């Protein structure tokens, strides 16, 4: 049901100090995400193979150069690769006959870059690293925020990309007003595992863009499994807004937003105010999606209409193409074709 053989956003680097770990749920599975004493991140299925307690309720311990996860229940220890390395209850004699390496909890491939920790989901080994954000180099986000939508991932993804809701759900003085609604035509094209609203000079009806000064150029990219990145270039400077839509389970989806910039105007705005603005914005989406659940509980037939819902159609087409490629072990064929979409917002 979830897309496989993909990197999913797991957590922000700054959430995880060396020697610390956290529990998260990803695609309905419990995961222990840890950072060893050497600084390396790792991810394990968060279940002790002995008696099933969450390993994350235990702690990380340092054993010479190695980092080990110690189960709080009977003290079994696991390496960061998931293999059992110690069972304290075994006598010296019993230890000789028991092959601990046969006991393990699943290990997930992880990769950390640009302040983001990615966790691979799939049966195979990843054949490439997660996509890097353009422009930001090795910078880490200056502002970030998380929220959970009480819905299945698809509603969160299409709720965030849909342009027609903006003038209604996000009607606020500093962003859009009812009067500012007008017809738009935007060029789109395929990108790897997704599509892009190609670089363009954004709507003049947004106060925030005006604040940035000289002709900003914006590109918005969406890529499976649920990564949306808004790139704003103002001369040589950038503002990058990263949004990860990560399925927690069938009823919950986590939205993480991280902002990167080197544009000086952004630094004039206090980070707390920026975070508040982002929280207001995402909070409006969350409230809409959560309210939508009350209607969806009756399993109504839904519709997607041209052109405002074409991106949602592309999302479903991309998912289908991805699953087909995985099932048949064939190369993924991007179903998106270059097109200008028109709508009022």
Q: Where on the chain is the footprint of ligand FES (CB under 6 A)?
A: 48, 50-51, 53, 71, 73-74, 76
| Tokens coding 289 | 């999606």
Nearer to ligand FES, 55 or 239 (CB): 55
Chain position whose Cβ is nearest to Fe ion:
285
Shortest Cβ distance from residue 10 to ligand FES (Å)?
23
48 binds, among Fe ion, ligand FES, none (CB under 5 to 8 A by kind): ligand FES
> 285 touches which of ligand FES, Fe ion, none (CB within 5 to 8 A by kind)?
Fe ion
Residues β-bridged to residue 35: 20, 41
Q: Can you tell me the distance from the alpha carbon of 35 to that of 17, in angstroms, rounded to the nearest whole number? A: 6
Nearer to ligand FES, 79 or 247 (CB): 79
What is the gyration radius of the CA atoms in the chain, in angstroms? 23
Closest to ligand FES by CB, 53 vs 208, is 53
Q: Which listed option, Fe ion, ligand FES, none, makes contact with residue 337 (CB within 5 to 8 Å by class)? A: none
Residue 28 DSSP symbol: T
State the minimum distance, in angstroms, from the CB of residue 50 to ligand FES: 3
Output the smallest distance, CB 74 to ligand FES, in A: 3
Query: The tokens of 200 are what?
Result: 């363009």
- Whose Cβ is closer to ligand FES: residue 53's or residue 288's? 53
Buried-state track 126-159, b at ≥16 Cβ within 10 A, e below 16: beeebbebebbeeeebbbbbbeebebbbbbbbbb
Shortest separation between residue 37's beta carbon and ligand FES, angstroms: 21
Contact residues toward Fe ion (CB under 5 A) are 285
End-to-end CA distance of the chain: 33
Name which of 154, 148, 147, 146 is nearest 296 in CA terms. 154
Query: Please, which residue, 21 or 176, has the CB nearer to Fe ion?
Result: 176
Q: Do 311 and 195 contact (CB within 8 A), yes or no? A: yes
- State in angstroms the smallest separation of the CB of 72 from ligand FES: 7
């Amino acid at each position: 049901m979830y897309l496989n053989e993909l990197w999913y956003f797991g957590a922000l680097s700054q959430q995880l100090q060396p020697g610390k770990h956290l529990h998260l749920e990803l695609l309905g599975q419990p995961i222990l995400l840890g950072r060893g004493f050497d600084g390396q991140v790792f991810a394990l299925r968060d279940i002790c193979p002995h008696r099933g307690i969450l390993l994350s309720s235990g702690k990380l311990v340092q054993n010479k150069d190695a980092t080990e996860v110690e189960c709080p229940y009977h003290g079994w220890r696991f390496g960061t690769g998931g293999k059992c390395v110690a069972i304290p209850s075994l006598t010296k004699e019993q230890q000789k006959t028991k092959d601990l390496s046969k006991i393990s909890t699943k290990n997930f491939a992880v990769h950390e870059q640009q302040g983001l920790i990615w966790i691979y989901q799939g049966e195979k080994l990843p054949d490439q690293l997660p996509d890097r954000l353009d422009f930001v180099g090795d910078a880490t986000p200056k502002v970030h925020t998380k929220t959970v939508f009480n819905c299945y991932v698809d509603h969160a993804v299409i709720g965030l990309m849909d342009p027609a809701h903006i003038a209604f759900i996000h009607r606020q003085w500093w962003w859009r007003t009812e009067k500012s609604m007008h017809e738009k035509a935007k060029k789109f094209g395929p990108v790897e595992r997704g599509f892009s609203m190609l670089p363009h000079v954004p709507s003049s009806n947004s106060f925030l863009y005006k604040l940035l000064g000289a002709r900003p150029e914006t590109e918005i990219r969406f890529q499976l499994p649920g990564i949306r990145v808004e790139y704003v270039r103002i001369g040589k400077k950038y503002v990058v807004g990263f949004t990860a839509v990560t399925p927690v389970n069938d009823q919950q989806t986590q939205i993480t937003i991280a902002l990167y910039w080197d544009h000086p105007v952004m630094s004039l705005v206090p980070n707390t105010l920026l975070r508040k603005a982002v929280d207001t914005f995402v909070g409006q989406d969350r409230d809409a999606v959560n309210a939508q659940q009350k209607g969806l509980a009756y399993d109504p037939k839904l519709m997607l209409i041209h052109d405002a819902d074409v991106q949602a159609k592309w999302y479903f087409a991309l998912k289908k193409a991805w699953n087909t490629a995985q099932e048949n072990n064939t190369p993924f064929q991007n179903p998106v074709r270059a097109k200008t979409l028109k709508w009022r917002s």
